[in-house]
Amino acid sequence: MTALWLAGATQGRAAGLRDRDHGPLYSRAVLARWVPGSTPEVVASYVSPRSVTHGRPVGHAFKGLHRDGDRWLLCTERELLWFDDAGNQVERLDHPWFNDLHHAVRFRGQLAVASTGLDGVLRPETDSWFGPDFPRRDWRCVDRRPHAVHPNHLFVWNDALWCTRFHDGTAREVGGSRELHSGSTRIHDGLPHAGRVWFTRVDGTLLGVNGCDRVELTGQSGTASWCRGLARWDGLWAVGFTRLRATRWRHNLAWAKGMLRGDVRVGSSPTRVVLTDGRQVQLSQTLESAGIDALFGIVPGP
């Protein structure tokens, strides 16, 4: 049976009042395999070397996941890594323009990377850049928030490469002028399916767009969580949710209606994967007991 592969992170400590955001809370990046009906299994874990972090107190998370031939392509905030199905690291790539990476794919034989911190898309093998101008320097450990665009997920649709844009709720053709408008903001994944591109919104809504009209599916979440991660599995949607964490960096959590303001506790709903037909939840699998405290990507695989 086809499994669902999960990219995320293990949380090493609780959030405190001085924490600006959740990133430094994560002590290791994790790749896991889950066959629905069984217990998720962590296949690989990873901590970035000091040569990349420059010894700074940074977090470690796999923020993107893509099947690249017979290997898994993952990204931390500052590196690309490839793992085989047994969890062995087989390749690694870094680049001075890798800043808060959120996703990487291979399109027409070339790598494309969402360098979210620089608000653009990079082809690292040729240094081709699609985004605003910036000084050419090492940006790997520089905090450039708030982001103007926050590009976060790459996908192929209509024989072109596209990237979602979190803040304005659009997907834009990389290197082109075409746009898809989701009709919302704070979107993540873009998944082509059945003639539409489907986006996750942070509150758990799925938005299906084909350029002419828009379909909205709700009811995947139940309680407030950060929705991120989307795949198709056995005729169902697999949707990822990450437990809310109370940190000082809150401008992206306005939809939560201030429920965590001034509170160092985390949200009550755990990190999990939900299988749904779009209207009703068929299965909900919690992930924290398996060491997955934050979920960033879901991809079907062997």
pLDDT digits (tens, 9 = 90+) for 96-153: 999 999 999 999 999 999 999 999 999 999 999 999 999 989 998 888 888 889 999 9
The tokens for 12 are 């090493």
Q: 107-120 pLDDT, tens per residue?
A: 999 999 999 999 99
Give the sheet arrangement for strand 281-286, strand by strand: 226-233, 236-242, 272-276, 281-286
pLDDT of residue 259: 44
Burial class (CB in 10 A: 0-12, 13-18, 19+), 123: middle
Residues in the chain, overall count: 302
Contact (CB, 8 A) for 190 and 198: yes
Q: Which long-range contacts (CB under 8 A, 24 or more apart) does 10-14 make?
A: 10/45, 10/291, 10/292, 10/293, 11/293, 11/294, 14/264, 14/266
Least confident residue range of 75-79, 161-165, 190-194, 200-204? 200-204
Task: Provide the pLDDT for residue 204.
Answer: 87
| Domains held by the chain: number | 1
Burial (Cβ within 10 Å: 0-12, 13-18, ≥19) of residue 288: middle
Answer positive or negative: Cα dihedral of 72, 147, 188, 209.
negative
The fraction of the chain above a pLDDT of 70, given in percent, is 85
For residue 255, pLDDT over 50 is answered with no
Q: Which two tokens stand for residue 285?
A: 């699998």
| Residue 58 belongs to domain with CATH number | 2.120.10.30
Pair of tokens at residue 185: 């903001």
Q: How far apart are CA 230 and CA 131, in angstroms?
A: 25
Which residues constitute the domain of residue 210? 3-301
17-to-10, 35, 220 alpha-carbon distances in Å: 20, 38, 30
What is the structure's pLDDT at 249?
46
Residue pLDDT, tens place only, 162-191: 999 999 999 999 999 999 999 888 899 999
Q: How far is Cα 198 from Cα 238, in angstroms, rounded to an integer?
A: 12
The average confidence (pLDDT) of the chain is 88
What are the residues whose beta carbons fall under 8 Å from the beta carbon of 263, sequence distance 6 or more? 246
> Sorting pLDDT into bands at 50, 70 and 90, what band is 246?
low
